[in-house]
């Protein structure tokens, strides 16, 4: 009985997965990817999945940043100004250099 449950779980796990196929990959490109996957201790499948997932996360991050582009209701600090502003505010409150 336990084997049937495990098999059903495996089937359901794979039922929601999407397959992506890339055609006409040059052999030297495939070889380079295989070498990189092996260097990371991964199969080519696992390595490519990680690359695709990373790219998808970056696209989501970019979409979030794009939603806020052009807004003027936030701070317009230049690099380095934020740390100086925090130090000044802490000094005014008598907190000194608190990390």
Domain that includes residue 53, residue range: 42-66
Quick check: is 28 in a domain?
Answer: no
Quick check: is 71 in a domain?
Answer: no
Quick check: is 82 in a domain?
Answer: no
Q: Residue 22 — very low, low, confident or very high, per pLDDT cuts 50/70/90?
A: very high
Quick check: is 49 in a domain?
Answer: yes
Has residue 2 got a pLDDT over 70?
no
Quick check: is 22 in a domain?
Answer: no
Residue (of 30, 26, 29, 63) closest to 44 by Cα position:
30
What number of residues does the chain have?
99
Quick check: is 85 in a domain?
Answer: no
Helix (H), strand (E) at residue 29: helix 27-39
Counted domains in the chain? 1
Confidence at residue 17, expressed as pLDDT on a 0 to 100 scale = 81
pLDDT digits (tens, 9 = 90+) for 26-82: 999 999 999 999 999 999 999 999 999 999 999 988 888 888 887 777 767 777 788
Q: Residue 7 — very low, low, confident or very high, per pLDDT cuts 50/70/90?
A: low
Quick check: is 86 in a domain?
Answer: no
Q: Report yes or no: 86 and 96 within 8 Å, Cβ to Cβ.
A: no
Quick check: is 7 in a domain?
Answer: no
Cα dihedral angle (36, 38, 39, 44), rounded to 10 degrees? 40
């Amino acid at each position: 009985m336990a084997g049937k449950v495990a098999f059903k779980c495996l089937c359901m796990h794979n039922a929601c997965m999407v397959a992506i196929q890339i055609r006409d990959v040059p052999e030297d490109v495939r070889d380079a990817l295989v070498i990189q996957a092996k260097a990371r201790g991964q199969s080519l499948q696992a390595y490519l999945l990680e690359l695709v997932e990373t790219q998808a996360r970056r696209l989501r991050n970019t979409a979030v940043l794009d939603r806020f582009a052009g807004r003027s209701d936030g701070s317009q600090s230049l690099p380095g100004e934020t740390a100086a502003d925090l130090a000044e505010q802490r000094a005014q409150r008598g907190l000194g250099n608190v990390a």
